[in-house]
């Protein structure tokens, strides 16, 4: 039974490390960075007019399966939500009513993301998860207004799991983005990288290189290897600086090349958490000197060290969370067909910038009594963005058919027959029929089961 004992000793070691204490500094710096980045993102979102164009202008919204009950709240409501997001992100940064601020931020941010699935971005999902984790972390117990108001809560040490859970979540994004890149198109066809680079060939000096096939291959392979390995190099003390440097370059390059908004900058700053406590302590000293803050010395020795059942419960909870996060992206294996084509099990799996997909969807309504048939004017129902997203995703095609059905029935045409002729191109492939044009989509119900009306790629 030596292997069992060995495994047991590993798990004990792990558990010990998990609960052992370390400096709170990285967590505090992360809190400040997170708060400020969320503040910047929210202000940017507002300034770009997206509150109006995404939550007020559309006549119809696409729901997440199981979250059909989430609705936008109208103009006053939506702007109020954003004001609260701004306030709570400031509160997070300065550590003021931290628990309430993180909870409020998590709930409101998740709420706005749930309103319309066509706005889905992996990095929004990432923010929601981090905000959720932040609710449980004692990130306000040093260098915060909360500590200034109530010095007795000050902490200088926190258990390893607190910082590790943030690192885990960050690492997961890179690692799974890397796994997703291990596919034939990406590695052996340099697709869709070739298409993306082709569009940048007019850039001065380096533009000419972008039409070279080997450049597309290098970008593809480098991206894949980077994503798969960077988190391990960041964890290693020896390679950390170099890994971080390559991370900065990687994100700046992708940020310059693609319209991916705040994401690169959030990642560049968030991954600072991988640096040592000393490094973060220096940042804290720096912030204190700039703002002329005095250090609040912990009055008594506080510790978050848990014992017995509570310790086991926490370990169990964190391990299940990690397990879920690592298994969930693989749920696509339960579905037949090409993942990129059907997108069944595609979301919430860190599949970022992986494919170039475009679609055109013609919807037709037939009156079953008269046989009269006509093409739907998509612009009467959807915004241009919604239409574009819908045209390549089967579950949204289904939802759209139901949106049409509801409208038509409210106008007195019962049981309309709704067909869709959808042409989709994936990674530059021939545009072909995406779903069965003969199937009456109005009769189908959404669900987690395989959608057998999607045609083969």
Partner 1 sequence: MHLVLQTLLITKIIILEPPAKVGGSFLAMKRYTPIVFIVFALLSLGSCCTKGPDDEVEYSDLFDNIANNMIVPRYAEFQSDLGALEMSVNAFDASDVSSLSLIQEQFKAAYLSWQSISVFEFGPAAEYSALLRANCNAFPANYSRIEENIEAEEYNLAFPSNYGAKGLPALDYLLFHSNPSDLLIELSDSSRMLYIQDCLADMQGKVDEVVNAWDSYRTTFVGSEGNDQNSSLSLLFNQFLYDYEKLKRDKFALPAGFATQFGIPLDADTSVVEGRFSKMSFQLIQANLESLENIYLGVGEDGVDGVGIFEKLKEYNAQSTVVDGDLAVSIQEQFSVCKDAISQFTNDLPFEIVHNIFEVQETSNQFQKMVPMLKNDMRSYLSVTVTLTDADGD
Region 151-180 residues binding partner 1, contact defined as CB under 8 A: 177
- 411 scored as a contact of partner 1 (CB under 8 A): yes
> Which residue of 88, 89, 110, 119 would you call a contact of partner 1, by CB under 8 A?
119
Residue position matching structure tokens 């710096």: 29
- 380 scored as a contact of partner 1 (CB under 8 A): yes
Q: Give the span between the Cα atoms of 456 and 307, in whole angstroms.
A: 55
261 SS3 class: coil
Least CB distance to partner 1 at residue 208 (A): 13
Least CB distance to partner 1 at residue 376 (A): 5
Least CB distance to partner 1 at residue 374 (A): 4
Between the CA of residue 291 and those of 171, 173, 286, 299, what are the distances in Å? 32, 34, 9, 22
> Which residue of 39, 230, 365, 439 would you call a contact of partner 1, by CB under 8 A?
365
Q: Give the span between the Cα atoms of 201 and 11, in whole angstroms.
A: 53
> Which residue of 391, 396, 420, 439 would you call a contact of partner 1, by CB under 8 A?
391
Least CB distance to partner 1 at residue 83 (A): 20
- Asked if 162 and 29 count as a contact pair (C-beta separation under 8 A), the reply is no
Window 215 to 244, contacts with partner 1 (CB under 8 A) = 223, 227, 241-242, 244
Least CB distance to partner 1 at residue 198 (A): 6
Q: Tell me the window of 86-94, 146-154, 288-296, 351-359 that interacts with partner 1 (CB under 8 A).
A: 351-359
Instruction: Write b or e for each residue in 302-327: b if 16 or more Cβ atoms lie within 10 A of its Cβ, otherwise e.
Output: bebeeeeeeeeebbeebeebeeebee
- 379 scored as a contact of partner 1 (CB under 8 A): yes
> Which residue of 81, 170, 353, 396 would you call a contact of partner 1, by CB under 8 A?
353
- Residue (of 218, 196, 210, 224) closest to 351 by Cα position: 224
- Residue (of 264, 53, 97, 89) closest to 177 by Cα position: 264
Q: Site map for partner 1, 24-43, x if CB under 8 A?
A: --------------------
- 138 scored as a contact of partner 1 (CB under 8 A): no
> Which residue of 352, 397, 420, 435 would you call a contact of partner 1, by CB under 8 A?
352
Least CB distance to partner 1 at residue 84 (A): 21
Give me the sign of the Cα torsion angle 124, 130, 136, 138. Answer: negative
Window 307 to 336, contacts with partner 1 (CB under 8 A) = none
Q: What tokens were used for 399?
A: 């939802």
Between the CA of residue 197 and those of 19, 204, 215, 253, 351, what are the distances in Å? 47, 13, 9, 12, 19
Least CB distance to partner 1 at residue 203 (A): 6
> Which residue of 182, 206, 225, 293 would you call a contact of partner 1, by CB under 8 A?
206
Q: Tell me the window of 99-107, 121-129, 290-298, 328-336 that interacts with partner 1 (CB under 8 A).
A: 121-129
Closer residue to partner 1 in complex, CB, 302/385: 385
- Asked if 228 and 175 count as a contact pair (C-beta separation under 8 A), the reply is yes
Window 251 to 290, contacts with partner 1 (CB under 8 A) = 252-265, 268-269, 272, 275, 279, 282-283, 286
Length of the chain: 457
Q: What tokens were used for 134?
A: 């932040």
Least CB distance to partner 1 at residue 211 (A): 8
What does the radius of gyration of the chain's CA atoms come to, in whole angstroms?
A: 25
- 141 scored as a contact of partner 1 (CB under 8 A): no
- Torsion angle, CA of 292/295/296/301, rounded to 10 degrees? 170
- Asked if 277 and 160 count as a contact pair (C-beta separation under 8 A), the reply is no
């Amino acid at each position: 039974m030596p292997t069992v004992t060995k495994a047991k000793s590993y798990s004990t070691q792990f558990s010990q490390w998990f609960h052992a204490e370390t400096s709170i500094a990285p967590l505090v710096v992360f809190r400040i960075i997170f708060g400020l980045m969320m503040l910047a993102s929210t202000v940017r979102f507002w300034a770009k007019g997206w509150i109006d164009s995404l939550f007020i202008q559309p006549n119809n919204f696409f729901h997440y399966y199981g979250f059909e009950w989430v609705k936008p709240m109208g103009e006053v409501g939506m702007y109020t939500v954003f004001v609260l997001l701004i306030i709570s992100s400031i509160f997070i940064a300065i550590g003021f009513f931290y628990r309430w601020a993180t909870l409020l931020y998590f709930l409101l941010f998740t709420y706005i993301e749930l309103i319309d699935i066509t706005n889905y971005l992996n990095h929004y999902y990432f923010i929601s998860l981090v905000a959720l984790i932040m609710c449980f972390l004692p990130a306000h117990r040093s260098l915060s207004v909360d500590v200034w108001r109530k010095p007795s809560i000050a902490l200088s040490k926190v258990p390893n799991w607190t910082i590790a859970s943030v690192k885990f979540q960050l690492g997961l994004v890179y690692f799974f983005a890397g796994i997703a890149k291990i596919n034939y198109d990406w590695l052996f066809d340099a697709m869709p990288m070739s298409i993306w680079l082709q569009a940048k060939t007019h850039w001065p000096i380096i533009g000419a290189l972008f039409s070279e096939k080997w450049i597309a291959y290098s970008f593809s392979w480098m991206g894949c290897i980077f994503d798969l390995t960077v988190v391990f190099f960041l964890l290693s003390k020896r390679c950390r600086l170099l890994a971080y440097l390559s991370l900065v370059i990687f994100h700046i390059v992708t940020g310059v090349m693609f319209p991916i908004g705040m994401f690169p900058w959030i990642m560049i700053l968030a991954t600072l958490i991988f640096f040592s406590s000393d490094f973060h302590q220096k940042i804290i000293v720096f912030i204190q000197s700039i703002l002329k803050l005095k250090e609040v010395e912990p009055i008594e020795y506080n510790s978050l060290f848990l014992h017995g059942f509570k310790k086991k419960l926490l370990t169990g909870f964190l391990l299940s969370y990690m397990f879920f996060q690592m298994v969930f992206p693989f749920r696509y294996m339960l579905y037949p067909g090409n993942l990129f084509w059907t997108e069944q099990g595609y979301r919430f799996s860190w599949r970022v910038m992986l494919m170039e997909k475009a679609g055109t969807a013609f919807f037709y309504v037939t009156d079953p009594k008269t046989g009269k048939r006509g093409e739907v004017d998509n612009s009467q129902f959807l915004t241009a963005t919604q239409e574009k997203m819908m045209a390549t995703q089967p579950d949204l095609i289904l939802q759209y058919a139901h949106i049409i059905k509801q409208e038509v029935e409210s106008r007195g045409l019962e049981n309309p027959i709704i067909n869709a002729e959808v042409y989709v191109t994936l990674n530059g492939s021939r545009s072909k029929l995406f779903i069965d044009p003969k199937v009456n989509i109005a009769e189908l119900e959404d669900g987690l089961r395989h959608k057998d009306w999607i045609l083969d790629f």
